Amino acid sequence: MATKANAKNISSEAGPSMEDIVEILRERIVRQDLAPGAKLNEVALAQEFNVSRPRVREAFGVLEDRKLIERIPNRGAIVARLQPDDILALFEVREVLEALAVRLATEKTDPASWNDLVERFGKKAEEALAAGKLDYYVESVHLFRERAFMAAANPVLANQMASILDRTSVLIRRLLLVPGRAEQGLRQHQEILKAMSEGDAEKAESLKRANIRSSLETFRLYQKYVL
């Protein structure tokens, strides 16, 4: 634990803040620039960011709390690996929270506010997938989530989901590489957005639950290929 004097020195030193370092490393982990099991070298990172090692260790503590890294005695810090049981538990929570966000978003917004996403998930998305352009669909789903959580206007819900999505983002993208999964997901999102654009919050919530359950079923079937 840092003394008051040490804390003052850390906060006044040059280079990015502890929070900035956390965000940079979080992005690298989420984008899999740092793959599961990769070692995080405290000395190298301190040199890269031009900060003290205590500041890097402080950032490690935050990432460990978020379950993005593990600190192992005599090995140091490594990017956390998701185990199958962890993934199943996260899917269970995602089903409840993402569906809740969709319901709240539908209840709290003008149904017409979803028309642009209805269009984005329509012919443009179908043509993108047909052409093998998976990134368009991935970006569309990311935008849908962002909009839904913003419209839900529930900070507790948003914070919980941000942590879960950080831990599962790589897995979610790998699942979309399973033949037929992206096309199935597109159809499901089209139905969800149709319900939202009609102001039917209960139906939208039910459809989102079904979307997450089908993604879980894909994981169960292709587990050995996506982990």
Angle between helices 84-108 and 181-197 (to 10 degrees): 30
Containing 77, the helix (H) or strand (E) segment is strand 76-79
Over the chain (227 residues), the average pLDDT of each successive run of 10 is 45 80 92 88 95 95 91 89 91 96 98 98 96 94 96 95 88 90 97 98 98 96 86
| Tokens at 96, concatenated | 């409840």
pLDDT at 74: 80
- Rounded to two decimals, the pTM is 0.80
pLDDT at 13: 63
pLDDT at 12: 52
What is the side-by-side strand order in the sheet with 39-40?
A: 39-40, 76-79, 69-72
Max alpha carbon distance in the chain (Å)? Answer: 60
What 8-state DSSP symbol labels residue 113? G
pLDDT at 96: 97
3-state secondary structure (DSSP) of residue 141: helix
* Dihedral (CA of 201, 113, 115, 125) sign: negative
pLDDT at 15: 87
CA–CA gap between residue 107 and residue 105 (Å, rounded): 5
CA–CA gap between residue 31 and residue 25 (Å, rounded): 10
CA–CA gap between residue 168 and residue 211 (Å, rounded): 16
Q: What are the structural domains of the chain?
A: 6-79 (1.10.10.10), 84-226 (1.20.120.530)
| Tokens at 38, concatenated | 């990769």
